[in-house]
Amino acid sequence: MERVIVVGVETQDNYQVFTESMKELVNLTETAQGEVVGELTQKLPSVSNKTIVGKGKLEELNQLVLAREADIVIFNHELTARQASQIEAAVQVKVIDRVQLILDIFALRARSKEGQLQVELAQLNYLLPRLTGQGIAMSRLGGGIGTRGPGETKLETDRRHIRSKMTQIKHELKEIAAHRGRIRQKRQESEVFQIGLIGYTNAGKSTIMNLITEANTYSMNQLFATLDPLTKKWTLPSGMQMTLTDTVGFIQDLPTQLIEAFQSTLEESRGMDLLLHVVDASSTDRLQQEQTVLHLLKQLDMEEIPVLTVYNKADLCDQDSFVPTLFPSCLISALNPADADELKTAIIKEMKLVLVPYQAELSEDKAYLLNEMTLKTIVDHWEYQEETGTYLVNGYAKSGSKWLNEQFYQQ
């Protein structure tokens, strides 16, 4: 494991979230298989344009690197190429920032072809503006034999190569996104109710998915354990079939490069009928995490989708004194199988608010449709009317359901 020193500057802009942000940086470092051997912080009105920290602190950082035999320094701020090279010159070890660290974790976690392409695109997006050349030494333009005439610098060649690679990846991602879009379109045409799991990283989304669908997805106490979206079929106790989709977790200051690269993955959540916003109820930074997710939902134009907040990890907090801040909500522990029914009840309650109530009358020769209604809608109650020889069905269906309109009168 690489030995790491984490560095952060508390400013007027970040003082409210600084402590939690530094804790998160330590967790991110450990997720990336690094060992934090030291931490350096400084209070400044704003970060230094040259080296983020002040001159004295930079010297202190150099001494700390030597004393702790560190291999790498990670800053809790996005660094420019110039800042990184100046800090590296002072401390003589590799220097990276929070964005690079997150990208590295994503590279570590990506399993599918799409996930790997998205991470590579984000990394190239990050790298492009940070490429620096070495002047005439890297140029094919010079004053000697074989160097006369048109040419381009090594830096320009690298930039052209990266842009070409990015274009190629975007083309491949476009094809994958089109395929995903066709699958999504089929689901919408089949009028399947779709639920999406969203939330801060490590809130327990995959564990909740395993709790109610027995999906056996990878769920660990790690940041970004899930990168590739996974959709599973889920059947309600009433018999209605729907889908549940697990997506990548959000995080404070989620790099813009990642939002752009993971656009097609995030598209999955945009087409949902209901979102389950999973929140770690035991986190000391719960309010900030909630706001981060809500802000990103706004950024991704997903504000209009109905949301049920699921406060998870009830086993790690005092349930009697717990006060929810988002509504509607429920408090559960995804590790407790007994809480599955409570969660399902809360989901069905919200679904009934999203769906449209209907009443249908089935003649005896159409009784076979009752089974299909049970699969496609929430059938609340049905009874056989002896005097008319018909079945009276009450339930809830998707608004404008073509299937239901073709078969019955809807009210």
Which residues are part of a known binding site for GTP? 199-206, 224-228, 246-249, 312-315, 333-335
Q: Taking a C-beta distance cutoff of 8 angstroms, is the pair 205, 160 a contact?
A: no
Residue type, 87: I
Query: Beta strand 356-363 with 390-397: parallel, antiparallel or unpaired?
Result: antiparallel
Distance of CA 28 to the CA centre of its chain: 15
Q: Residues annotated as binding site? A: 199-206, 224-228, 246-249, 312-315, 333-335
Strand pairing of 34-43 and 72-75? Answer: unpaired
Q: What is the number of residues in the chain?
A: 411
Is residue 114 within 8 A of residue 264, CB to CB? The reply is yes
The rounded radius of gyration (Å) of the Cα atoms in the chain is 27
Phi and psi angles of residue 103, each rounded to the nearest 5 degrees, phi first? -60, -40
- Mark the binding-site residues for Mg(2+), compressed into ranges: 206, 226
14 CB-contact burial (10 Å; exposed 0-12 / middle 13-18 / buried 19+): middle
Question: Of the candidates 168, 158, 155, which has an alpha carbon nearest to the alpha carbon of residue 120?
Answer: 168
- 98 contacts 47 by C-beta, under 8 angstroms: no
401 vs 411: CA distance, rounded Å: 12
